[in-house]
Structure 1
Amino acid sequence: MSDDHDAAGAVRFIFEAGVLKRAARTGWWFAGVKHPESIAEHSFRTALIGMMLAAMEGADAARVSMMCVLHDTQETRITDIPHIAKRYLTAVPNTAVTADQVAGCPPAVIDLITAAVAEYEAGETVEAIVARDADKLECLIQAVEYRHQGIDNVQRWIDSSQAALKTASAQRLADAALDGQPLAWLTPPPTTPAK
């Protein structure tokens, strides 16, 4: 393949990933959220949480963040299937969707992305476990934010997300989020007097 063909394939995937900026996280509609965050918004904060959890758990932060960015990219093709719908629908594995998405990319890009998605889906390495915790923790934090905005039907998301957490660091952050206020960051912490 030519370099131009590889570049065109990579740009196709980049354009496809842009759809995630417009695609909603549909499960929140059941809770009464009229305009839920996009899949890309969810993935951004998942990557940020993943980076932090990786540092707290001694994992490779770059690898975790990459898995977090990629963990829902397949939803451009299969959509964000709500949990209840998964009882009735069978989707191909995310690894197969990813392989199709990146088929036209340069070989090094194909290898990088497919390996990261396969690692995330297997859920066996410390980085994959941390990335999965980041996904669940982001959902829990989003539920807390929606609750503070007046959506009171979010407890099932909080409970299921919290129950799925595997690392002690994720559980500590979940506990802090449940006790916290989403806009507390607007008030600066008290300063200690200089000595």
Structure 2
Amino acid sequence: MNNDDHDADGAMSFIFEAGVLKRAARTGWWFAGVTQPESIADHSFRTALIGMMLAAMEGADPARVSMLCVLHDTQETRITDIPHIAKRYLTAAPNPTITADQVAACPPAVTDLITSAVAEYETGDTLEAIVAHDADKLECLVQAVEYRHQGIDNVQRWIDSSRTALKTTSAHRLAEAALNGLPLAWLTPPPPTA
């Protein structure tokens, strides 16, 4: 096996591992009474979409923010989605350490790309990282609003904690729109114009 094949195998290993996120539930919602919460991958997809939009609104790099958002929970393949209450009792390895293990067999360029993005997100110093964190919190708030509209009434703590954590003006504006909006309003066509 040549080195290029080894690199491809390492990259594919990470791709397979990331696929687990499609089946792994966001477990904190069980405490709110959601019996089948969205997956970590579902959450990450919409976080990336929100991040791209927030980046445009805040003057950050949308591609970079989307990448940070896609990668922000990839470590949960190895440590699962640990609910906040459990974090009082459990200590997990830091996300950059987990990421380094996950991508160790990838091609060096891939390893560098992913580890630097995760480190940037975890440090939270750049505008892109701040926007990505806001996207993560805003996605949680939006999901809580959707669950509330589906009849789950024990979601206010997720709304409050997510809203409190928001830093950018645009994220606050989108949070207000989520709280005052109807999740399925987009299904109703606008009235015809004269």
TM-score (ref. length: structure 2): 0.98
1:48 and 2:52 correspond: no
What is the aligned-residue RMSD (CA, Å)? 0.8
Match of 2:146 in 1: 145
Match of 1:20 in 2: 21
Distance in 1 between the 2:94 and 2:128 partners?
20
Helix, strand or coil for the counterpart of 2:97? helix
Match of 1:63 in 2: 64
Distance in 2 between the 1:192 and 1:123 partners?
46
Helix, strand or coil for the counterpart of 1:72? coil
CA drift at 1:32: 0.2
CA drift at 1:152: 0.1
AA matched with 2:158: W
Distance in 2 between the 1:170 and 1:145 partners?
17
CA drift at 1:189: 2.8
Distance in 2 between the 1:173 and 1:158 partners?
13
Match of 1:76 in 2: 77
Distance in 2 between the 1:191 and 1:138 partners?
32
1:3 and 2:4 correspond: yes
Helix, strand or coil for the counterpart of 2:167? coil
AA matched with 2:36: H
5 Å-filtered alignment, 1:175-194, equals 175-193=176-194
Helix, strand or coil for the counterpart of 2:131? helix
AA matched with 1:44: F
The gaps in structure 1 that reach 5 residues or longer are: none
What CA deviation, in whole Å up to 9, does each residue of 1:65-86 have, x standing for no partner?
A: 0000000000000000000000
1:89 and 2:90 correspond: yes
Aligned-residue identity in percent: 84
5 Å-filtered alignment, 1:27-38, equals 27-38=28-39
Distance in 1 between the 2:191 and 2:63 partners?
33
CA drift at 1:191: 4.8
Match of 1:110 in 2: 111
Distance in 2 between the 1:186 and 1:2 partners?
52
Distance in 1 between the 2:193 and 2:123 partners?
47
The gaps in structure 2 that reach 5 residues or longer are: none
How many residue pairs get aligned? The number is 193
Distance in 2 between the 1:116 and 1:159 partners?
28
